[in-house]
Amino acid sequence: MSRDFYYLIKLEYEKRQKDAADRLESRKKELYSKIPRLEEIDNEINLSGIKYSRLILQGNSQDVDAVKKVQEIIDGLKEEKNSLLLSHGYPEDYLEPVYKCPQCRDTGYIESENRIEKCHCYKQLLIEFLYKESGLGPVERGNFSQFDESFFSDEVNVEKYGINISPRENILLIKEKCMEFIENFHKPEQKNLFFSGPAGVGKTYMANCIAEELINRGITVLYMTSPKLFSTINEYKARALKEEEYDDLSYRNIFESELLIIDDLGTEPMSAARYAEFLSLLNARLSRDMSSPCKTIISTNFGIKELYEYYDERVASRIIGAFEIYRFAGDDIRRLKKLGAK
């Protein structure tokens, strides 16, 4: 990723902090006009805070009582302020800044175990910039609250759907397993997910529901179609052979993102070399997952038989061993939605 992107991210955090400050200033003006005493209290707290800091810096033992007295004054003012807010129907924190990310207070950094590190929101912002740079456009959002199992038939038809239960019962079982995947995401023993089935039966939507939920929990997610994935790897390899100096963050994120979604596996051009690269990717992510979350979701029209036919046996065996395999079945939801809209 170019340095310009780091600059843009810096500007984004500056904007977030300014927005938080502007919103707070707006609320202050609103309440100061309605409750003048609040402005007086804030001014008194500020003055007392300056006096408190001066006494602490002086560090004289005889100033201990003075420090304690100033602290009591500040505590009393804060208590009065909270009481005023509550009595007028406002929450106690109404005059506190509201940040997009409360953890880092919109700075992009947090203190962890006596060291400063990037906040999860910073990591996710990096990936979002990378995704925009790819030219693919935003991932189609999906969430479990909008999940509608009514698009899946109650009919049990092994010949038609290839499963011995109804598509609706099947998708509800898959949804339950996906929720377990989310809850157990940080556990190394939680396997990855492999979604197979025909087009239009909800594979990508289910993957995006998981992504949305994990993003909300602070997990970094990278979505890539299979052709884009192999193109990114191939571009990195080609540049490495030429020994060009370039930023390889887009390549590294394929290996390091906490959740990688590979959509439409099998639509990439066939190549023995690419299968070896894919196996290396799977092995690297599985190894990394032993120490920190590094899960993968694969979506494809292929079944297990097609995996062995299309890929190196080692790739197919690795997927079977490291992934929970779920077969999606049903009618084409896109077609059903179009028919319903008519």
Enter the pTM of the model: 0.67
Query: For the residues 321-334, what does the mean pLDDT come to?
Result: 91
The pLDDT tens digits of the residues spanning 167-188 come to 999 999 999 999 999 999 999 9
Statement: residue 284 has pLDDT above 90: yes
pLDDT of residue 249: 72
**Can you list the domains of the chain with their CATH numbers?**
3-115 (no CATH), 120-341 (3.40.50.300)
Give exposure, 175-191, as e/b (b: 16+ Cβ within 10 Å).
Answer: beebeebbeebeeeebb
pLDDT of residue 212: 83
What is the C-alpha to C-alpha distance for residues 328 and 174, in angstroms, rounded to an integer? 8
Statement: residue 195 has pLDDT above 80: yes
The pLDDT tens digits of the residues spanning 76-92 come to 999 999 999 999 999 98
CB atoms within 10 A of CB 160: 13
Strand partners, 225: 263
What is the C-alpha to C-alpha distance for residues 304 and 317, in angstroms, rounded to an integer? 10
What is the C-alpha to C-alpha distance for residues 282 and 322, in angstroms, rounded to an integer? 9
pLDDT of residue 4: 65
pLDDT of residue 311: 84
CA distances from 125 to 106, 186, 243 (A): 12, 21, 29
Statement: residue 342 has pLDDT above 60: no
For residue 328, name the pLDDT band (cuts at 50, 70, 90). very high
For residue 244, name the pLDDT band (cuts at 50, 70, 90). low
What is the C-alpha to C-alpha distance for residues 88 and 94, in angstroms, rounded to an integer? 11
Give exposure, 95-126, as e/b (b: 16+ Cβ within 10 Å).
Answer: bebebebeebbbbbebeeeeeeeebbbbbbbb
CA distances from 276 to 230, 247, 283, 325 (A): 11, 24, 11, 22
What is the C-alpha to C-alpha distance for residues 86 and 309, in angstroms, rounded to an integer? 68
Token pair 């890539």 is found at 224
Contacts of 156 (CB under 8 A, 6+ apart): 164, 165, 166
What is the C-alpha to C-alpha distance for residues 223 and 206, in angstroms, rounded to an integer? 13
